[in-house]
Chain A
Amino acid sequence: MKFTWFHLMPYRFLPEDFKEKYHSVWVDIPRDLYDPKLGHRLYNDYLDQLEYADLMGFDGLGVNEHHQNAYGLMPSPNIMAAALSRRTRNASLVVLGNSIALYNPPIRVAEEFAMLDVISGGRLVAGFPVGTSMDTNFCYGEVPATIREKYYEAHDLIIKAWTSKDVFAFNGKYTKLRYVNLWPKPIQQPHPPIWIPGGGSVETYDFCADHDYQYSFLSYFGYIAGKKVADGYWEVMAKKNKELNPYSLGFAQVVAVSETDEQAEKDYAPHMDYFYNRCLHVYDGFADAPGYRTVKTIKAGILGQVGDRAAMRREGLKWKDFIEQGYVIAGSPKTVRERLREAMKSLNCGHLMMLMQIGSMPPELVRKSTSLFATEVMPHMRDLWSNFEDKWSPKRMPQNEIAMPANVHFQKAEANGKARAAAAASAEARSAK
């Protein structure tokens, strides 16, 4: 069993009456709700948390891409992964991912992912989401009717750029390039493992199965509701005679650990409420642009992650309901151990993406939950799926070949700074004469 500590990086300071007073947390949220000085604090806190997860032995550190929102503050997750690449040693950098249809040309993603893989010594997981409708259609203006076709074309270009030995020309419908010649190329050959985050589009099952990619189901309904999608995925895999290897399925789950079940409610209930009622307060009209989901997916009856129907389903739920319905796995280490094992077994899932900083949760609670999980839950779950080979984790360079960042001597830097300032002052004095 593998564990990725996944950060959404929400804005923690939305007003109490946000849901009542504001239209949407995404797309048209007023800019004056964002305070860059608080933002500075948040980014640094959040990077600390991911670095802490690395120290605590989590297998992966997860980041993702969203635009114009307070739900997740990473328009570019690659910047976060770059920061982590220098300050972490062990964990995979799970960038889940870049919405490849948004980049013109999409080889920009192939280049940046290659850079991250090279800097980190082969620790990158490359995620290729289509992206939410809010991000792709409403914020980035992509035509809903053609975004999936553009996505598949971008995917083909990136894979070819990573695997081709020679310079090639690419004559796509959306991208035309006379010379494709990817420099640098990734450490992991032919390319980093590819994970496809999905929200339940049925086409994605086939896409993952056909390419042997890992399918990461990112849901906020939890493992009980998520079973329908996981079953759909395994059904497709079985039909295509693929190995039903649990490591080919990733699943996102809100997890929170405290000393006791009662203490967990005390600690985490308000932050869960913030998450479901403020972070996910998405105007229904932005949830699903016409054409974003295919007719096939709509007819499969898969509920979108956001929008009125999703909100309705959560309406009035209390902590007890969130726990019972599996939205959240929380409680004492013993409770979490048991429920998580049951959840992973029922989904046949080998890669758990854990949302451990939720909504407004402050750093000290994040640290507590992470630490309790790492010491009292994780070790007890490592045996799960040990008879399967994980083919979807990075194949990094040997530890002894990985470059170490040079020690940064802040005092020396400061002294250099003073010397430079003195030199500048005297130069100014000379020119004044």
Chain B
Amino acid sequence: MNTTQKLLNGKFSLEMKVYGSGEPLLYLHGAGGLMPAEPFLEDLGKHFKVYAPQFPGYGESTGNEYIDDIADAVLFFHELMDELGIPTANIVGHSMGGMLAAEVAAFDIHRARKLVLIAPAGFWIDEVPIPDLFAAQLTEIAGLLFHDPKSAAAQMMTAIPSDFKALETMYVERVKRLATASKFLWPIPDRGLKKRAYRIHAPTLLLWGDDDKLIPPAYAKEFTSRIKNSKLELIKNAGHMVMYEQQEALVGAIRKFLKG
């Protein structure tokens, strides 16, 4: 279900997907943002009450101009959790959202009951450079993000509309989203999480596609070595967009970890 959530007297107006019922789960999306339909989140909604906001600057969500850096983004999520009445919740984040979820948990150890980071950004290893998604062309993106770039999911996500108006709309939305992401990821996605990750006290599960070509699984040890109570699980036959390639395995792993 799509809802609109206002924060701070309308400073932020958020487009948010809400699914299911039960224990609260806050989902932080990656640099690409939420798609019109998110079957993976619907599936999670069978077990949790899922809150998935579009970050300010994405979709209909406004207030992007009030967020310049990690501290602003973290306080935004703290405010959102308070406003939703879930000051503590399970937090799941993918890619850029994983980076932000880790920061939310590190800035205030009481925010995350448990933390799930799916192929999170936040580090840079010279020997394993992350390909430049900002410079990638639409035709290259499927190859970077998917284990199987020919799959229906990959093709759908990277399809180029033939109608000019639709193309312009898609292009403008993509520019808006990636421009917002550039505040945290440009030119190198390291904003100092390495100094703060030790403050993550919540039990943490790292999930990674074994064929992630964007942020390779080698990055997992940056997290597991710094977060006391953490472990890594690889998801087979998945690239960076794990949720679109191995939805069942991913939901299963999250559910087992959060319910366990």
User: Which residues of chain A have a CB within 8 Å of any CB of chain B?
Assistant: 137-138, 141, 143-146, 173, 283-286, 289-291, 293, 295, 298-299
- Contact B68–A290 (Cβ < 8 Å): no
B204 within 8 A of A: no
- Contact A138–B182 (Cβ < 8 Å): no
Residues of A within 8 A of B172 (CB): 295, 298-299
Residues of A within 8 A of B180 (CB): 145, 291
Q: Assuming the A-B contacts A298-B171, A299-B172, are A290 and B182 also in contact, with contact meaning beta carbons closer than 8 angstroms in the complex?
A: yes
- In the complex, which residues 156-208 of chain B have their Cβ closer than 8 Å to any Cβ of chain A? 168, 171-172, 174-180, 182-183, 186-188
A145 to B187, CA, bound (A): 12
Indicate which residue in B177, B183, B187 contacts A141 across the interface (CB closer than 8 Å).
Answer: B187
14 contacts between A and B (CB under 8 A): A137-B186, A138-B135, A141-B188, A143-B186, A144-B182, A144-B186, A145-B186, A283-B135, A285-B135, A286-B135, A289-B135, A290-B182, A291-B175, A299-B172
- Contact A290–B179 (Cβ < 8 Å): yes
A286 to B182, CA, bound (A): 15
A298 to B174, CA, bound (A): 12
- Contact A291–B178 (Cβ < 8 Å): yes
A-B contact count (CB 8 A): 58
- Contact B187–A290 (Cβ < 8 Å): no
Per-residue contact bits, chain B 44-70, to A (CB 8 Å; 1 contact, 0 not): 000000000000000000000000100
- Contact B135–A143 (Cβ < 8 Å): no
Q: Assuming the A-B contacts A138-B135, A141-B187, A284-B137, are A289 and B171 also in contact, with contact meaning beta carbons closer than 8 angstroms in the complex?
A: no
B152 within 8 A of A: no
Residues of B within 8 A of A145 (CB): 179-180, 182-183, 186
B134 within 8 A of A: yes
Report the minimum CB–CB distance from B129 to chain A (whole Å).
Answer: 13
Residues of A within 8 A of B182 (CB): 143-145, 289-291
The 9 closest A-B pairs by CB, nearest first: A291-B179, A290-B178, A285-B135, A141-B187, A145-B179, A290-B175, A143-B186, A290-B179, A145-B182
Look across to chain A and name the residue whose beta carbon is closest to the beta carbon of B187: A141
Known pairs A145-B180, A290-B178, A298-B171; list 19 more (Cβ under 8 Å): A141-B186, A143-B187, A144-B134, A173-B68, A283-B135, A285-B132, A285-B135, A285-B136, A289-B134, A289-B135, A289-B182, A290-B134, A290-B175, A290-B177, A290-B179, A290-B182, A291-B180, A295-B176, A298-B175
A298 to B170, CA, bound (A): 12
Residues of B within 8 A of A290 (CB): 134, 174-179, 182
A146 to B178, CA, bound (A): 12
Residues of A within 8 A of B68 (CB): 146, 173
A138 to B177, CA, bound (A): 18
Residues of B within 8 A of A289 (CB): 134-135, 182, 186
Residues of B within 8 A of A295 (CB): 172, 175-176
A295 to B188, CA, bound (A): 24
Q: Identify the interface centre among A138, A145, A295: most chain B CB within 10 Å of its CB.
A: A145
- Contact A144–B135 (Cβ < 8 Å): no
Report the minimum CB–CB distance from A140 to chain B (whole Å).
Answer: 9
Report the minimum CB–CB distance from A141 to chain B (whole Å).
Answer: 4
Residues of B within 8 A of A285 (CB): 132, 134-137
A144 to B180, CA, bound (A): 9
A291 to B181, CA, bound (A): 10
Look across to chain A and name the residue whose beta carbon is closest to the beta carbon of B57: A145
Report the minimum CB–CB distance from A170 to chain B (whole Å).
Answer: 18
Per-residue contact bits, chain B 128-168, to A (CB 8 Å; 1 contact, 0 not): 00001011110000000000000000000000000000001
A153 to B177, CA, bound (A): 24
Look across to chain B and name the residue whose beta carbon is closest to the beta carbon of A295: B172
Residues of B within 8 A of A283 (CB): 135
Residues of B within 8 A of A137 (CB): 186-187
Residues of B within 8 A of A286 (CB): 135
Q: Identify the interface centre among B132, B174, B175, B178: most chain A CB within 10 Å of its CB.
A: B175
Q: Identify the interface centre among A137, A291, A295: most chain B CB within 10 Å of its CB.
A: A291
A238 to B164, CA, bound (A): 32
A314 to B137, CA, bound (A): 20
Residues of A within 8 A of B132 (CB): 285
Q: Identify the interface centre among B136, B137, B186: most chain A CB within 10 Å of its CB.
A: B186
Report the minimum CB–CB distance from A303 to chain B (whole Å).
Answer: 13
Q: Assuming the A-B contacts A290-B175, A299-B172, are A143 and B136 also in contact, with contact meaning beta carbons closer than 8 angstroms in the complex?
A: no
Report the minimum CB–CB distance from A265 to chain B (whole Å).
Answer: 35
A289 to B186, CA, bound (A): 10
A299 to B172, CA, bound (A): 8
A325 to B188, CA, bound (A): 42
